[in-house]
Amino acid sequence: MIGTLLFYALYPLTRLLGSWGSDVLKKRLSPAQVNGKAVWDGVGAPTRRFEQSQTAPLDQRLDPGPGSSGEMGKGMKAQSPGKEGGLLPDVDKEERAAGLCESERLLETDEVQRAEMEKEAETHDGNQEDTVKISEQDIQQTTAQANVSPVTGPQEPLAYGDRKPAEDDTPATVCPLEEQTTQLIIDESNPSAEAPAEEAECWDTCVGLDPDGASSPSLALSFLLSDGPTEDSGFGHDQPAWHFPAGPGLAQELQCPLWQFPTMSYYPTLKQADPFEVTWRLWEEVDEGAAAAPLPFPKVAFDFTVMSYNILAQDLLEAHQELYTHCPLEVLEWSYRCSLLLKEIQKWVPDILCLQEVQEDHYHDQLHPALSQMGYTCVYKRRTGDKTDGCASCYRGDRFSEISITALEFFRPETELLDRHNVGIVLLLRPVVPQGSKVKGPPLCVANTHLLFNPRRGDVKLAQLGVMLAEMDSVFRSCKAGGEHCNVVLCGDFNSVPNAPLYQLITTRQLFYNGLPAWAISGQENLWHQTQCYRLFAPLWPSSLGIGDNCQYTVAKEMLESSGKHQYSRDFLLQLRFCPAACVRPVKLEQIPGVTDDTPDASKENQSEEQRFRTTISHRLDLQSAYTHVLPGSGQSEVTTLHSKGAATVDYIFYSPKRPHSDLKGLTLLGCLSLPSEDVLWSINGLPSHIFPSDHLSLLTNFQLLLDAE
């Protein structure tokens, strides 16, 4: 600690003195040389060392090189102790400070001793090689670490364990890695072997850097620092996991000092560390396919992947900053998050991509252009109201063609319950089968939504889901009418936890909701202690919505849209005939013969309310979740979203599964990208992070669809 403080206090001083001293020296002395080339002597512009093969004859290496090196050679002679005795102590000091190698010092002798020196230098040749070998060791270490640890810059993710770059890490103190790399390439041409420790130190202290960066670009920086996501295109068969290379200390390596005290180093000595990888998300195969009964006729499989991802709209992030206090500021910047996000999409290249919280300007400015370039066709639907985000559903044009698109708005001014501005998109796609193939892919309905967040308004969420399911059902039925079976995928952020009533409606097709507290529908919060709470009673939504309690359109959608003013259907009003309010005759009601003179007959009231109103909602789509929501082994809950206030699963990919004996109907789940537990996510600093760009994780599944091969 004290040493470090001393270092900070003395280092600038020594640099100042050093630079002053060097100016003085430069006027009188030429820089030290090795192999006929100037070497950096601790001050001034550094130059490259060991450019030529260390096995080249010494005299060749001692030949003055082109340009100034000849002059330097002469200058070097002037440094001989005999001629510049007065400067000797300074030179020695400078040498020590620069930590010049033994071989260099040998070269700094009188010309008279040259022949002798040549001989001696030859004996030191091995040492030079050793020096290089050490440098190679360091190189390997450096490159290994560079390979396992991403760059500290804002565009690259940092792996867990890496030091966050200090805010005052100015470029001046950071060693340009490309230059370092160049040095490494040069040195790599030499065979390596073990070398004494002092030689290693010598290399460390003597190594020079090309000031111009005029170095071989043959080893790209991006290669050294590249991480999995950028390199691996195509769906992760080569690398079926979410690999985050990690390793100790690249950040420290990047702090390559221009000079350091031989005996005291601010920078910890590097320990040889084997590179290691940390895998946060694994691709998990699902054995569903094996369980499926073999079909008696030839079939063709069409595999496709689906990603659902709430990407966290920047405006929402800024509106709820209190949720992200655990995050370093740079991971909250849109430019940083956007680049991570695109890398993630590029890594997995899902065939279908359902995004939520897509901010409109970001969609138009960055996401849509980038996704189009990746081969996606996209449909965007912004939320109604003031919020600037919405949903985007994209599909790869080479895998699917479009049959129809429906953008849904859940806000219905005529329906009190549907007064929130959430939206959804329903696509009807057809798989693209290889050209010349006789088979026709069956249609696939892909629905994407982001339901209302408000944990207390489960009633609104249910109604929004009802609208979504009705549209999907309509698409399903129109396919059926055309003689085709439509497979279904429903994904998005449902703002409801697994097995809560809303989830149960989706997966069990039915929900008895009468009397349920509204907060219980989504399960986000437990407000059971509240004495007063809003409860759900039948009917949940009015018939004027045009959607029955079976989540099907009751009237043709077109009719409903054209008859905008139509409020209550006859059937709905008939249900109200004998309700308690209707049986009480208003005191001031004018009596009109044949119209208001008939008092409601209470004897007809024997029909209970439950009989008159169905207290359940249901739907007809066969849906199940691709994820199980618990981690195998530990049994811990999977988490799809996490921020300062909590973590939960609220994102899902539901699909219509292939049932036994269902011929070609249904999808087979082949695999999922695993989700972590909350503990694991907090161990990597929560969300968003240098690894994951949103406060949600992406969900990724692989499905198989069978086509008749006839």
Binding residues for ligand KL2 (CB under 6 A):
310, 316, 320, 453, 493, 495, 641, 650, 695-696
The strand pairing partners of 32, in sequence order, are none
CB of 383 to ligand KL2, least distance (A): 8
352 touches 400 (CB < 8 A): yes
CB of 506 to ligand KL2, least distance (A): 16
Amino acid at 200: A
Q: Which is nearer to ligand KL2, 299 or 320 (CB)?
A: 320
Q: Which is nearer to ligand KL2, 649 or 685 (CB)?
A: 649
483 torsion bin: left (phi>0), alpha (psi -120 to 50), beta (else) = left
Distances (CA, A) of 76 to 101, 152, 203, 312, 497: 15, 41, 21, 63, 77
CB of 705 to ligand KL2, least distance (A): 29
Whole-angstrom distance, CA of residue 462 vs CA of residue 500: 11
Whole-angstrom distance, CA of residue 204 vs CA of residue 311: 45
Distances (CA, A) of 105 to 27, 80, 81, 213, 398: 20, 10, 12, 27, 67
Q: Which is nearer to ligand KL2, 33 or 649 (CB)?
A: 649
Q: Which is nearer to ligand KL2, 224 or 491 (CB)?
A: 491
Whole-angstrom distance, CA of residue 378 vs CA of residue 307: 14
Query: Which residues touch 653 (CB under 8 Å, ≥6 apart)?
Result: 306, 308, 489, 490, 491, 625, 626, 627, 699, 701
359 touches 314 (CB < 8 A): yes
Q: Which is nearer to ligand KL2, 317 or 338 (CB)?
A: 317
575 touches 590 (CB < 8 A): no
Amino acid at 480: K
Closest CA to 410 of 354, 492, 477: 492
CB of 473 to ligand KL2, least distance (A): 25
Q: Which is nearer to ligand KL2, 259 or 453 (CB)?
A: 453
CB of 374 to ligand KL2, least distance (A): 25
Q: Which is nearer to ligand KL2, 353 or 497 (CB)?
A: 497
Sign of the alpha-carbon torsion through 677, 682, 683, 684: positive
Closest CA to 252 of 156, 103, 138: 138
Q: Which is nearer to ligand KL2, 207 or 465 (CB)?
A: 465
CB of 424 to ligand KL2, least distance (A): 14
Q: Which residue is nearest to ligand KL2 (CB)?
A: 453
Q: Which is nearer to ligand KL2, 543 or 694 (CB)?
A: 694
Amino acid at 128: Q
Q: Which is nearer to ligand KL2, 511 or 687 (CB)?
A: 687
The total of other beta-carbon atoms located within 10 Å of residue 352's CB is: 26
- What DSSP line would sit under 234-245, residue for residue? SSSSSS-EEEEE
CB of 222 to ligand KL2, least distance (A): 33
CB of 647 to ligand KL2, least distance (A): 11
DSSP 53: -
Closest CA to 388 of 464, 460, 316, 309: 316
Q: Which is nearer to ligand KL2, 452 or 467 (CB)?
A: 452
CB of 681 to ligand KL2, least distance (A): 14
Q: Which is nearer to ligand KL2, 367 or 650 (CB)?
A: 650
CB of 357 to ligand KL2, least distance (A): 6
55 torsion bin: left (phi>0), alpha (psi -120 to 50), beta (else) = alpha
CB of 142 to ligand KL2, least distance (A): 40
CB of 627 to ligand KL2, least distance (A): 16
Phi and psi at residue 634, in whole multiples of 5°? -70, -25
Whole-angstrom distance, CA of residue 457 vs CA of residue 522: 8
